[in-house]
Structure 1
Amino acid sequence: MSPYEKKLSRRAFGGAVGATATATAAAAALGVPGATAAEAAAPAERPFRADTRSRSRRPNILFILGDDLGWADLSSYGSPHIKTPNLDRLARQGVRFTDAYAGSATCSPTRFSLYTGRFPGRTEGGLAEPIADRSAGLDPNHPTLASLLRDAGYATALIGKWHCGYLPDHSPTKSGWDEFFGNFGGALEYYSKLGLGGEYDLYEGDVREGDAEYKDLRYYTRILTERAGDYVRRDHGGKPWLLNLNFTTPHWPWIADGDEEESAEIVRRVKAGEKGALRHQDGGSVEKYTEMVQDLDRSVGKVLRALQQSGQEQDTLVFFASDNGGERFSYNWPLSGNKSSLKEGGIRVPTLVRWPARLRGGQVSHEPVFSPDWTATLLEVGGARPHPAYPLDGASLAGYLLRGEELAERELFWRVRGERALRRGDWKYYRGKGGKDQLFDLGADRREQADRAADEPKLLGELKAAWERTDKGLLPYPAA
């Protein structure tokens, strides 16, 4: 634990909550009475006082995703060789989660879980792991974080990677975002913007930039950073705003800013019809990966400076996480497993939350949380209600973060083809592709090396049955 961090018990969150009454639904959800005498006499349980400067208003929401960033790839999470001062500063200014998870082990299903607040297996598009063709996508009729917040009065935008379906049937602007600038596919070459099929994949709304005279062939991370800075500085007519900023960094191909010769070689291979050229199996290195993560850190820093310069920093909730675990150059120690696996290294992700008007900084949470929880949380703080026909699978963390409420013990569920996992408290039930049911005590064994199944057969049976109950309510995978 870093020296500036304070370990939090379940009731120790010192959320800064405004005491002023307001007529809005959002403030009603967030406002609580002042601290009681008993609370004031228990500093160990409530180490931070309420921030009297906080205002009862709905926050802007800046939701930043890295792509294939491993759990320990930030220096604030223990990386010995990657330096991330801007994200470390964000951690000091807010809350760092040690046991936060993605909704799945790959790009598309995690994004489905975040945008819908539901398990990926609730929808046909979420069954693709990840989406690799044009036959699947997020149903435009399904309510999303963006559509629900937009209906509650938010301006909404998505900048960067979408990966939830392709035109003409699927796009961010069909699913609740007022604006979109970015790529539809799962990966693209950082300079040429060529996607997995060799197509030019940079769009302004639903119009491909390559169809016009103008193309932006600069390094992609630079472009997204610039666009995001412009968005947060813009006058939104008095509306609060939601910006989903989805970087592709540090996803393959492993090309840093300035690697134009490597880019040209990959482009040559893509245009020659070489399938898999973007996967860069014959390229990359720990050093190149480090460059890319540090570039992501600088880019986040630039966007946060733009936010500060705009005068909106206090009233903006900033969230940073990865969409799943890291790939082969990632640093995940002490976790085992990588992207695509339901071992901890495939789904546990770095997660930071800052809201100066409401949350005291320097806090650390060890509570298990996952992507659908953030959907529920942001809807609550934004004064929006879930659609009754599409119940959420996540639980709002607003009471925990902002009112010091205890989180009830619950079960986090994951499913991918050939693997299953469920976490209850410190216990994790896991079955890999070998078909063996295993049980791990993550409190004592984060690396998942000590299988306790034989020692705790009753508990194993309970968790297995809990997983199977949830699975019965999901769509089956189509035949492979």
Structure 2
Amino acid sequence: MKRLIFLLVFAVASVATAGDKPNIVFIFIDDMGYGDIAPFGAPLNKTPNLDRMAAEGMKLTDFYVSATACTPSRSALMTGCYADRIGMDGDVVFPGDSRGLNPSEVTIADMLKAQGYATGCFGKWHLGDMPQFMPLKQGFDEYEGIPYSNDMWPVNKGVRNAYKGWPPLPYMKQDKAVAHIPDAPSQALLCEAVTDAAVDFIKRHRSEPFFAYVPHAFVHLPRLVPKEQGERAEGDVTRAQVEAVDESVGRILTTLKELGLAKNTLVFFTSDNGPSRGCSAGPLRGAKVGPKYEGHMRVPALAWWPGKIPAGAVCSEIAASIDIFPTLAKLTGGEVPSDRIIDGMDISALLTSSGKSPHSELYYEYEGVRQGSWKLVKIKNKFFLYDLDADLGEKNNLSGQHPEKTDELRKMLEAHEKMVTSARRPPGMVENSEPILKEPGTLPTLAEYMNRADLQTAGSVTKPTQKKKIK
């Protein structure tokens, strides 16, 4: 009911014309680290299209996600709220899980749809695979992709799940499974498939404002690519996946320019958390798992909007994924819900001018806090203090030299946890949940669906590796 009221109120309240509203493309990569792309110092990975985004737009050096796993991070992005505030922190959701993003929450797609936007999601969802949790019930007009992580498939024998073996991994179009992903060729085509869908969506909605959310499954494990991509990356499949993502970005940017939409489109590129195995945090300490060092939650971020964002700009102000919701509301004439707590803040001034961050501090869930250059990390009830300006790699613990600052940040962290948990909202829950597919039946594989069943691949369906022979 609250969502319905929100949509009705702001659909009526919108006064901007379609021509006043920028198109939005938000590209969300899975498990890519701070040091995996050339604009952030990657020495080997070739990312000319991301280089172009940085040269023609802005590099955000201090951009953070608000959680460090797939489901919590996506929940925070979509709602502008800390994942724990909306009951989506902790473990990820699994196939047939009873938990998902509560449909009463207002998503970015809900807000933009109320402003007259066409809304599409293309890629990995991972906010619950029951019908009431899926994109079409969360503000999106169109959906194509996989409902959860690409490692949640029958080949994988080593990840916890609620079943004796994983159910078939479906490839969805709208609310129906149109294919499934049981083999290397189908995995290798995931980046291309969702890029095809996103580009098609942009072309079909060129005459109206649109929001294309592109949460890639790449570079999440398992890592597989078409043979020719692996060869171009000299057999390094992780590099090949990073470069495949770059090619996807290039296709989107080229489409926008060819359609004459570039000057009215904001494209934002970032990752859902720090690097997983084989990927790089660059100069930062930490990775996807482990203590809340910078590599855990600081991610590469680029913003591109010709004529609005200054070319070659570098922003070193603190910003976070929870800020995307209120920022897009500001840029599109939408509004942030006033009937609930929204944790994010408007950072539009950072994108179009030399504005200052609205964050006086930044929280790394409940295990870290940053205030200016000071950073406190909590590890098993012990506290470690770092000066990020002098020690970006977090090697020198200064807690003994600055006990007052350590105590100040510790109290801030404790107060933050109490503030969030005291106003926690429930996730969506269903009874008698079950996977989308129990058996593939007559569904084609994704490779067959794309008429690419004979595709040769590089990589491994089971183990992560930097170097794999072409097969």
TM-score range, shorter chain: 0.7 to 0.9
The whole-number CA distance in structure 2 between the counterparts of 1:317 and 1:83 is 23
Aligned position for 1:279: none
The whole-number CA distance in structure 1 between the counterparts of 2:274 and 2:338 is 32
Whether 1:179 and 2:179 are equivalent positions in the alignment is no
Q: Say if 2:273 and 2:288, in contact at 8 Å, map to a contact too.
A: yes
Deviation of 1:259 (Å) = 9.1
Q: Say if 1:103 and 1:113, in contact at 8 Å, map to a contact too.
A: yes
Aligned position for 2:420: 474
The whole-number CA distance in structure 1 between the counterparts of 2:355 and 2:282 is 32
Identity of aligned residues (%): 31
1:460–1:246 Cα change, 3 Å: same
Deviation of 1:353 (Å) = 0.3
1:110–1:26 Cα change, 3 Å: farther
* Correspondences of 1:217-296 after superposition (within 5 Å): 217=186, 219-235=189-205, 238-258=207-227, 287-296=236-245
1:170–1:56 Cα change, 3 Å: closer
Aligned position for 1:395: 345
Q: Say if 1:190 and 1:219, in contact at 8 Å, map to a contact too.
A: no
Give SS of 2:375's match: strand
Q: Say if 2:122 and 2:195, in contact at 8 Å, map to a contact too.
A: no
The one of 270, 277, 282 equivalent to 1:328 is 277
Deviation of 1:227 (Å) = 0.9
The whole-number CA distance in structure 2 between the counterparts of 1:346 and 1:330 is 12
Aligned position for 1:376: 326
Q: Say if 2:30 and 2:219, in contact at 8 Å, map to a contact too.
A: yes
Aligned position for 1:11: none
1:393–1:452 Cα change, 3 Å: same
- Which amino acid in the other structure matches residue 22 of structure 2? P
Give SS of 1:92's match: helix
For residues 68-94 of structure 1, give each alpha carbon's deviation from its aligned partner in whole angstroms, at most 9, with x where no partner exists.
001010011111111111101111110
Whether 1:166 and 2:158 are equivalent positions in the alignment is no
1:286–1:393 Cα change, 3 Å: farther
Q: Say if 2:347 and 2:358, in contact at 8 Å, map to a contact too.
A: no
Q: How many residues align?
A: 397
Q: Say if 1:286 and 1:329, in contact at 8 Å, map to a contact too.
A: no
The whole-number CA distance in structure 1 between the counterparts of 2:38 and 2:246 is 11
Whether 1:453 and 2:399 are equivalent positions in the alignment is yes
The whole-number CA distance in structure 2 between the counterparts of 1:305 and 1:191 is 37
- Which amino acid in the other structure matches residue 308 of structure 1? K
Q: Say if 1:192 and 1:200, in contact at 8 Å, map to a contact too.
A: no
Residues 84-93 or 405-414, more deviating: 405-414
The one of 302, 309, 313 equivalent to 2:262 is 313
Whether 1:405 and 2:355 are equivalent positions in the alignment is yes
The one of 90, 106, 110 equivalent to 1:128 is 90
Q: Say if 2:315 and 2:350, in contact at 8 Å, map to a contact too.
A: no
1:191–1:93 Cα change, 3 Å: farther
- Which amino acid in the other structure matches residue 232 of structure 1? I
Deviation of 1:443 (Å) = 0.9
For residues 371-418 of structure 1, give each alpha carbon's deviation from its aligned partner in whole angstroms, at most 9, with x where no partner exists.
011221111101110111223211111123335433345111122xxx
Whether 1:352 and 2:315 are equivalent positions in the alignment is no
Q: Scaled by the length of structure 1, what TM-score is found?
A: 0.77
* Correspondences of 1:40-189 after superposition (within 5 Å): 57-124=20-87, 126-132=88-94, 134-188=97-151
The whole-number CA distance in structure 1 between the counterparts of 2:367 and 2:43 is 31
Q: Say if 2:79 and 2:106, in contact at 8 Å, map to a contact too.
A: yes
Deviation of 1:459 (Å) = 1.2
The one of 359, 364, 376 equivalent to 2:314 is 364
The whole-number CA distance in structure 2 between the counterparts of 1:336 and 1:179 is 39
The whole-number CA distance in structure 2 between the counterparts of 1:323 and 1:310 is 29
Q: Say if 2:50 and 2:246, in contact at 8 Å, map to a contact too.
A: yes
Give SS of 2:227's match: coil
Give SS of 2:122's match: strand
The whole-number CA distance in structure 2 between the counterparts of 1:88 and 1:116 is 29
The whole-number CA distance in structure 1 between the counterparts of 2:339 and 2:375 is 31
For residues 268-287 of structure 1, give each alpha carbon's deviation from its aligned partner in whole angstroms, at most 9, with x where no partner exists.
xxxxxxxxxxxxxxxxx992
Deviation of 1:440 (Å) = 1.0
Whether 1:435 and 2:381 are equivalent positions in the alignment is yes
Q: Say if 2:346 and 2:358, in contact at 8 Å, map to a contact too.
A: no
Deviation of 1:350 (Å) = 0.4
Aligned position for 1:444: 390
Q: Say if 2:326 and 2:345, in contact at 8 Å, map to a contact too.
A: yes
The whole-number CA distance in structure 1 between the counterparts of 2:217 and 2:137 is 22
Give SS of 1:256's match: strand
For residues 346-388 of structure 1, give each alpha carbon's deviation from its aligned partner in whole angstroms, at most 9, with x where no partner exists.
1110000011131111000111111011221111101110111
Q: Scaled by the length of structure 2, what TM-score is found?
A: 0.78
Q: Say if 2:58 and 2:351, in contact at 8 Å, map to a contact too.
A: no
Give SS of 2:279's match: coil
Residues 337-346 or 104-113, more deviating: 337-346
- Which amino acid in the other structure matches residue 382 of structure 1? T
1:189–1:224 Cα change, 3 Å: farther
Give SS of 2:20's match: coil
- Which amino acid in the other structure matches residue 95 of structure 1? M
The whole-number CA distance in structure 1 between the counterparts of 2:277 and 2:42 is 15
Unaligned stretches of 5+ residues in structure 1: 1-22, 28-54, 261-284
- Which amino acid in the other structure matches residue 264 of structure 2? D
Q: Say if 1:166 and 1:184, in contact at 8 Å, map to a contact too.
A: yes
The whole-number CA distance in structure 1 between the counterparts of 2:228 and 2:275 is 22
The whole-number CA distance in structure 2 between the counterparts of 1:400 and 1:26 is 23
Q: Say if 1:409 and 1:425, in contact at 8 Å, map to a contact too.
A: no
For residues 42-93 of structure 1, give each alpha carbon's deviation from its aligned partner in whole angstroms, at most 9, with x where no partner exists.
xxxxxxxxxxxxx982200000011100101001111111111110111111
Q: Say if 1:320 and 1:353, in contact at 8 Å, map to a contact too.
A: yes
The whole-number CA distance in structure 2 between the counterparts of 1:407 and 1:128 is 28
Q: Say if 1:128 and 1:136, in contact at 8 Å, map to a contact too.
A: no
- Alpha-carbon RMSD across the aligned residues, in angstroms, is 3.0
- Which amino acid in the other structure matches residue 250 of structure 2? G
